[in-house]
Structures are given as structure tokens and as C-alpha cells.
Amino acid sequence: MNTCCRDNTDLSPSNLVKTIPEVKNNLSGLRTSLGSVFFDNSTLDSMRVCPRRFYFSKIRRWKPDRESLPLVFGSAWHASMDYLWAHPNCTLEQSFEPFQTLWDQSQFANSEDFDSFPRTPARAKDMLARYIDRYQSWLANNIEVLEVEKPFIVPLSESQQNLFYIGKWDKVYREGGSIYITDHKTSSSFSSTWLDSWSPNGQVDGYLYAGHMTYGDAFKAVMIDGVLVQKSSIDFRKVPVERQIDMLDTWKWEVLDLIEQISYYESELLRTRSEFEETKKREPFLRAFPKCTTSCTAYYGKCPFHDLCRFISNPEVFSENSDDAIPSGFVTDSWKPFQVEESTSGGFTITPHEHDL
């Protein structure tokens, strides 16, 4: 694993590294039995959007009991992309089968087209046929696919050598002597806002950081592989994203700052829980993970925890040990994107989960 990238620029300058408080009973992120701690983009992005949303989704691990149609459709599309990129000479039927398999496992398997169009299997098959027409020759003849669904782990700090950034690249490929990372995205619009959303972007910048750490000078860019999901048209858009090293330093500093915030609020949460155990008196509101009210109804729609924030001042009333530990309309999310095992020699074995819904 490379620890530096272009011009031997160190991505862990000591003057930028912040000391993260050690929380023995950390509540979020992934941790091995030997003490290494891993944060992925989903965890960090939840904190970026809203600390209270982070509390609900990453500490209490609640999720709506109803699946999201865009998420199901996007995951199924990813499954077809995995097969097509690994088998560029395959047929439409072969590449569509993974989509159909995942779709049939979802809550939308028996829905009528008018309920979910254009996010339907029939529309996806049309989109996939167009994608093959446009890109199959390029996939088969112009590039070398190096990895499909490639997990990665890279260090975040020189001073804390047990702190890592973890994730999974959709695809890694080589073209013209350079290495690229592809990230597949489905969207209802290719507006200027969509185009501008990829830089700066926490997930993409994290991919760039990890790409430089892993592949060094050979790494070129992250390529957003966009597909338009509309009733009236089918289209595709590739958006290359590159960042200067100082901007990746900025991303890393911001990530370490986020982790410091998470550690602080987790300490406060543990303190309030300890006080409750002693006094059996619960505070009127939660003095940790404050709400970011500008994110309640953002571009992606209403936050799934919106009503909880409206009506419940201290969600700790849903005690883990009570009969009603989960609010109505939610279930416990036990899914984790990775399982990480650490050897005594310092090596890691990452087992990514499949496209579970």
C-alpha cells in the first residue's frame, strides 16, 4: 500500500492531523478485536448531513421498514453493471439477470408498472440494451478491467496508526496507461446541479484519496458513470473528476474533524446513559448529536427521521432494554457493508457483503 502519491507528497502531514480522542466504547464505525477503527463514507456522510440523523442511523441503527424504490433500483442496476463489466462480451439477457434477481427479492417484486415507472425491470432492460450498444465495444476492446467491487483500506493518520478509511470501488480499470475508478450512478436528471455535485464530494474525494494511496502515480481520476432514469428518455453521461493533492489534504482534515465530532458526541451520549443508570431520571432532551434543520427536507426528499425529530425531544426514551425499543415504522438495520478481520502482523482481510437489500 502506498503512503504517498504524486511527487512523493505525503497525504498525512503532521500539521494537519488532529488527535482523535480514544473512546473505548465507540458506538459507530467498524472496529476489529485488535483495536483498529474504520470509517466508511456512509457513516461520515450521515454525520455531514445531520448529527441527529447519524445518531438514528449509525448508533441506534434504525431504518424505515419500507424499502426505498430508488435505492432498490440503483442496487439492481449496479448488479447488472458488475456482470457486464466482468463479462463485456455477454448478451443482454445474461447481464440483465442479476438485476431481475435482486428486484425479485425486494418489496417491489410484484408492483405494477404504473406504481414505479420508470424504475421498473422493463425500463431497466431497455436502459441496459442502450448501455450495451454504446459501451460494449469500449469495454471489450479499449480498457482492461482490473477489479469489480474492489474493497479498500487506507490509513487516515500518522499519529493514530489504528485509524483507517474503508470503502469499495465499483470498478477499477486501466486505459491508455492510466488507472481509473468508476462509480455507477442513477439519476432522474443530468442538470448542471447534478454535474456540479461530484466536486467537491465527500465520497468521490475519498475515492480519489484512496486511489492515490493505492495506485500512486498511475492513478488518474474517478469516472462517474451516470445513467438517466426518466419516463421520456434514456441517456448516459460520464463525468471525470480529478483533484489536486492539497484538496485531498483538505478532505482528509475534514474527515478527521468529523471523526473528532463523532467521538465527542459519543462520549456525551455515554455520559448521559451512565447518569440515567445511576439516577433513573432522563433528561428532557438529548444533549448530543444536535439536529441540522436545514437538512430535514433536502434535495433527496424528506429525511426518514423527520417526524421523530418533530415530536420526540429525547429519543433515548426508546431504551434498548424496553419492549418498545424501536419507534413504529422502523426496524433495526443489522447490515454492514464489510466484515474486517485483522491479523497480529497488521494485515487485514475484508469481506464485502453482496448487493443485499
Residue 211 has pLDDT above 70, yes or no: yes
Please state the rounded mean pLDDT for residues 283-298. 93
Beta bridge partners of 221: 180
Taking only the tens place, the pLDDT of each residue in 68-112 is 999 999 999 999 999 999 999 999 999 999 999 999 999 999 876
Question: C-alpha cell of 123?
Answer: 425500463
Looking at 106-115, 146-155, 189-198, 344-353, which range is the least confident one? Answer: 344-353
Residue 222 has pLDDT above 90, yes or no: yes
Is pLDDT larger for residue 55 or for residue 13? 55
Residue 190 has pLDDT above 70, yes or no: yes
* Whole-number pLDDT of residue 113: 60
